[in-house]
């Protein structure tokens, strides 16, 4: 074991962290890990399956570690490979640390079902992920600075490199930014950096050095350890949702709101917080757990007035050219640098999942472009793009340079029985995001049966936007999808985005009544029909959306949304179907809103609870309090009973027929 101690001492002198992959049977792998944990002093955080380690963490809880530091860690990937958790864990390790990666037996790994695939594959059982794992294996074997220790194979440690002793960065750039912040006028300041660059420490220094009062907020308090350490007595933390709810109590006298890991907070909440205080500092991680900080800047900061951007590039907690950071960046394609436009015409090509093997550089460029444009694109999406079923891609090329990219996902093909259950609200199987939502929320019971393609992501480099490249990508997708019934897209509604999809030929068929947490916008869905069946679906869905517009507008009176103003009073066949689904099945209140409104206006009998929600527009809390109900569920059950009474009073025979039809679906 002396060679391990000597190697670890060299790592400390070099200021580096290193990856050790242990591949073998369960017992053998655990024995090797236990031996190293015993010989090398450190924290030895264990991430993965429960272990005997003093400190352990489930991969799903990894965001609670943001901002903390550890010496040495084990990442147990023998049952499943949680890529985002590995990235986050690597950012917590100090210089001189080993990251032990436990993986299955080498020759079986790529074909072994991966438990993590349940998060992203849209399957009911774990599946093998050969493209991702084989690429990972190639990177491990090609990396001279990573150590691969396989059962029944000789262990070869890296040759000691002649590297100067590490002198930690003096933090001069940090101090320059701090000086600017300490004299900053009111406005928003944003700092982006990869992990280990000192942005949380910088926020803490600002709190400690500011003569007035600063408040700190973050996705979780435990992730602010570093910030708190540098802030000292000036550290005053309050959770984001509580801060918003108690804004009147906290606003007076506060000069700065410091929002650590801002990109992990829902955009709508972030917008509200930024508006509350005279000065706001946002810090966010490039290559973060949720996605990319660069995408965060594009989406969020671009919409704010008076924003000053800062970037920290030099690592403080480890040396430059760190072996572990380099490996993680290569493995998870974290290099999302801006693509420069070239001279020459643009060509368009279709790409499929086998191209991850046949054209890996081109597929990597597609993923990196999508990452740079969409904050929520993350390593989970990389895994889905590689190994989930029904993924298709296209790219706009200048020479070999990817200037635009589109990602299409197969949807539909569900049985009539399952589609009816989705419509009735009794089933919600994995996948088919828009196809199922068209049934569950837009009332189109046959939408999941039809074959469709959902445009999951589309991106064009900044220099080529507004030149028709995105429209050409969609047009090419349309040409290749002639065997489908329709294309669909789901997006956070803005006028600019809707105008783009409208130019591409899409028809708006739904706008939700609740803002998305990720974008702060109302969710919109649009479809582009490709077949006669798709045309009929689009016509029905558009007509229903038209008839619902006035009632949705009542819920969102201040919003600039393309909603109809005419109030339709008649109850048509679609309304009867919707009302029966609400009354005697599990259709959601929001989906049935317009039909329920028309029922209430008909006044077939007393409907006090529905009237309170729809005509008086009282909140759920107000209605439940006045009716002395226990809560939201009790109110919904009572409103379903009212709808039953209203339908029977309106037309007993017709109500009986629709109830019989519902029973036939079961």
- CA–CA gap between residue 663 and residue 315 (Å, rounded): 64
Q: Are 38 and 65 in contact (CB under 8 A)?
A: no
Structure confidence at residue 163 (pLDDT): 74
Structure confidence at residue 136 (pLDDT): 98
Residue 288 has pLDDT above 60, yes or no: no
Between residues 21 and 172, which one has the greater pLDDT?
A: 21
- CA–CA gap between residue 558 and residue 554 (Å, rounded): 9
Structure confidence at residue 367 (pLDDT): 94
Q: Are 400 and 465 in contact (CB under 8 A)?
A: no
Known binding-site positions for acetyl-CoA: 458-460, 496, 503
- Per-residue pLDDT reduced to its tens digit, 98-136: 999 999 999 999 999 999 999 999 998 999 999 999 999
From 25-29, 237-241, 299-303, the region with the lowest mean pLDDT: 299-303
Residue 464 has pLDDT above 70, yes or no: yes
For the chain, what is the largest distance between any 2 Cα atoms, rounded to a whole number of angstroms? 89
- CA–CA gap between residue 271 and residue 521 (Å, rounded): 11
Q: What letter does residue 620 receive in the DSSP assignment?
A: H
How buried is 165 (Cβ within 10 angstroms: 0-12 exposed, 13-18 middle, 19+ buried)? Answer: exposed
Structure confidence at residue 78 (pLDDT): 97
Residues forming CATH 3.40.50.11040 domain(s) in the chain: 2-150
From 300-309, 328-337, 365-374, 392-401, the region with the lowest mean pLDDT: 300-309
What's the rounded mean pLDDT across residues 179-195? Answer: 91
Structure confidence at residue 513 (pLDDT): 85
Average model confidence (pLDDT) for the chain?
Answer: 91
Query: Which CATH architecture group holds 573-665?
Result: Up-down Bundle (1.20)
Residue with tokens 């006669």: 532
Between residues 289 and 138, which one has the greater pLDDT?
A: 138
Structure confidence at residue 375 (pLDDT): 62
- H or E element at residue 75: strand 73-76
- CA–CA gap between residue 660 and residue 347 (Å, rounded): 56
Residue 582 has pLDDT above 80, yes or no: yes
Structure confidence at residue 600 (pLDDT): 96
Q: Are 593 and 575 in contact (CB under 8 A)?
A: no
Top mean-pLDDT range of 130-139, 270-279, 626-635: 130-139
From 227-231, 281-285, 412-416, 619-623, the region with the lowest mean pLDDT: 281-285
Residue 465 has pLDDT above 90, yes or no: no
Q: Are 131 and 356 in contact (CB under 8 A)?
A: yes
Give the pLDDT band of residue 302 (cuts 50, 70, 90). confident
Residue 51 has pLDDT above 80, yes or no: no
- CA–CA gap between residue 28 and residue 30 (Å, rounded): 5
Q: What angle do CA 190, 196, 200 make, to 5 degrees?
A: 45
Residue 291 has pLDDT above 70, yes or no: no
Structure confidence at residue 330 (pLDDT): 95
Residues forming CATH 1.20.120.890 domain(s) in the chain: 573-665
- Per-residue pLDDT reduced to its tens digit, 592-629: 999 999 999 998 899 999 999 999 999 999 999 999 99
The CATH number of the domain covering residues in 347-555: 3.40.630.30
Top mean-pLDDT range of 53-62, 71-80, 277-286: 71-80
Q: Where are the alpha helices (DSSP H) in 121-239?
A: 130-142, 172-182, 199-209, 225-231
- CA–CA gap between residue 391 and residue 370 (Å, rounded): 14
- Per-residue pLDDT reduced to its tens digit, 309-325: 898 988 888 999 999 99
Tokens of 161: 């490199």
Structure confidence at residue 53 (pLDDT): 64
Q: Are 78 and 49 in contact (CB under 8 A)?
A: yes
What's the rounded mean pLDDT across residues 447-464? Answer: 94
- CA–CA gap between residue 154 and residue 143 (Å, rounded): 17
Q: What DSSP letter does each residue of 1-16 carry, written as one string? A: -HHHHHHHHHHHHHT-
What's the rounded mean pLDDT across residues 318-334? Answer: 94
- H or E element at residue 573: helix 573-584
- CA–CA gap between residue 207 and residue 231 (Å, rounded): 5
Structure confidence at residue 52 (pLDDT): 66
Structure confidence at residue 303 (pLDDT): 76
Closest by Cα among 270, 573, 289 to 445: 573
- Per-residue pLDDT reduced to its tens digit, 541-554: 999 999 999 999 88
Residue 31 has pLDDT above 50, yes or no: yes
**Residue 101: strand pairing partners:** 21, 75
Known binding-site positions for ATP: 174, 317
- CA–CA gap between residue 85 and residue 289 (Å, rounded): 7
Q: What is the pTM of this model?
A: 0.87
Structure confidence at residue 392 (pLDDT): 98
- CA–CA gap between residue 456 and residue 450 (Å, rounded): 18
- Per-residue pLDDT reduced to its tens digit, 261-271: 887 787 778 88
Structure confidence at residue 289 (pLDDT): 46
- Phi/psi of residue 309, nearest 5 degrees: -105, 140
Tokens of 641: 């009973």
What is 2-150's CATH topology? Answer: Rossmann fold (3.40.50)
Beta strands in 209-344 (DSSP E): 213-217, 254-259, 279-285, 307-312
Give the pLDDT band of residue 386 (cuts 50, 70, 90). very high
Residues forming CATH 3.40.50.300 domain(s) in the chain: 172-312
Structure confidence at residue 290 (pLDDT): 47
Structure confidence at residue 640 (pLDDT): 98
Known binding-site positions: 174, 317, 458-460, 496, 503
How buried is 212 (Cβ within 10 angstroms: 0-12 exposed, 13-18 middle, 19+ buried)? Answer: exposed
> Which strand ranges, in their side-by-side order, compose the sheet holding 347-352?
347-352, 391-398, 401-412, 451-460, 486-492, 522-529, 507-515
What is 172-312's CATH topology? Answer: Rossmann fold (3.40.50)
């Amino acid at each position: 074991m002396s060679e391990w101690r000597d190697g670890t001492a060299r790592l400390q002198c070099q200021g580096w962290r290193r990856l050790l992959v242990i591949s073998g049977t369960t017992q053998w792998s655990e024995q090797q890990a236990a031996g190293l944990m015993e010989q090398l002093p450190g924290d030895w955080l264990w991430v993965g399956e429960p272990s005997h380690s003093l400190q352990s963490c489930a991969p799903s809880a990894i965001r609670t570690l943001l901002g903390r530091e550890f010496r040495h860690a084990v990442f147990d990937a023998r049952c499943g490979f949680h890529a985002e958790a590995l990235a986050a864990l690597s950012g917590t390790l100090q210089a001189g640390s080993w990251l032990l990666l436990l993986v299955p037996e080498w020759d079986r790994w790529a074909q072994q079902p991966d438990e993590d695939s349940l998060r992203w594959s849209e399957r009911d059982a774990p599946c093998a992920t050969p493209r991702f794992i084989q690429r990972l294996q190639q990177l491990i074997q090609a990396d001279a600075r990573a150590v691969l220790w396989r059962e029944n194979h000789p262990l070869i440690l890296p040759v000691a490199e002649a590297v100067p002793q590490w002198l930690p960065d003096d933090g001069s750039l940090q101090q320059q930014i701090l000086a600017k912040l300490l004299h900053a006028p009111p406005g928003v300041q944003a700092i982006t950096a990869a992990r280990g660059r000192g942005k949380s420490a910088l926020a803490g220094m600002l709190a400690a050095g500011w003569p007035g009062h600063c408040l700190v907020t973050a996705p979780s308090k435990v992730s602010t350890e570093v910030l708190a350490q540098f802030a000292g007595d000036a550290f005053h933390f309050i959770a984001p949702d509580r801060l918003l709810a108690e804004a009147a109590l906290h606003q007076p006298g506060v000069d700065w709101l410091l929002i650590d890991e801002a990109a992990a907070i829902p955009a709508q909440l972030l917008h509200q917080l930024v508006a509350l205080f005279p000065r706001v500092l946002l810090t966010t991680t490039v290559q973060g757990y949720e996605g990319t900080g660069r995408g965060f800047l594009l989406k969020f900061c671009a919409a704010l007035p008076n924003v000053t951007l800062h970037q920290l590039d030099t690592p403080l907690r480890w040396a430059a050219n760190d072996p572990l950071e380099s490996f993680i960046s290569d493995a998870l394609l974290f290099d999302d640098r801006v693509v420069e436009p070239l001279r020459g015409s643009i060509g368009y090509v279709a790409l499929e999942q086998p191209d991850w093997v046949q054209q890996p550089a081109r597929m990597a460029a597609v993923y990196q472009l999508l990452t740079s444009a969409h904050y929520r694109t993350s390593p989970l999406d990389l895994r889905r793009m590689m190994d989930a079923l029904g993924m298709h891609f296209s790219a706009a090329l200048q020479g070999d340079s990817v200037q635009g990219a589109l990602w299409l996902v197969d949807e539909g093909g569900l049985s009539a029985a399952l589609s009816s259950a989705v419509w009735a609200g009794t089933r919600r199987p994995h996948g088919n995001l828009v196809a199922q939502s068209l049934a569950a929320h837009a009332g189109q019971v046959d939408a999941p049966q039809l074959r469709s393609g959902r445009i999951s992501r589309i991106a064009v480099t900044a220099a080529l936007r507004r030149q028709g490249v995105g429209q050409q990508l969609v047009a090419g997708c349309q040409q290749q999808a002639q065997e489908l019934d329709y294309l669909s897209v789901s997006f956070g509604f803005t006028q600019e985005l809707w105008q783009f999809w409208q130019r591409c030929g899409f028809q708006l068929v739904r706008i939700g009544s609740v803002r998305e947490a990720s974008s702060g916008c109302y969710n919109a869905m649009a479809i582009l029909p490709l077949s006669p069946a798709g045309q009929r679906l689009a016509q029905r869905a558009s007509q229903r959306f038209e008839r619902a517009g006035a009632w949705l507008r009542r819920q969102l009176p201040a919003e600039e949304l393309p909603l109809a103003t005419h109030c339709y009073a008649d109850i048509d066949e679609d309304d009867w179907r919707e009302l029966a689904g609400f009354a005697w099945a599990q259709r959601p209140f929001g989906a049935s809103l317009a039909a329920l409104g028309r029922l209430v206006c008909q006044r077939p009998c007393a409907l006090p609870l529905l009237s309170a929600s729809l005509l008086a527009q009282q909140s759920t809390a107000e209605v439940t309090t006045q009716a002395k109900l226990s809560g939201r569920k009790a109110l919904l059950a009572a409103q379903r009973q009212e709808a039953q009474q209203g339908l029977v009073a309106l037309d007993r025979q017709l109500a009986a027929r629709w109830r019989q039809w519902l029973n036939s679906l079961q």
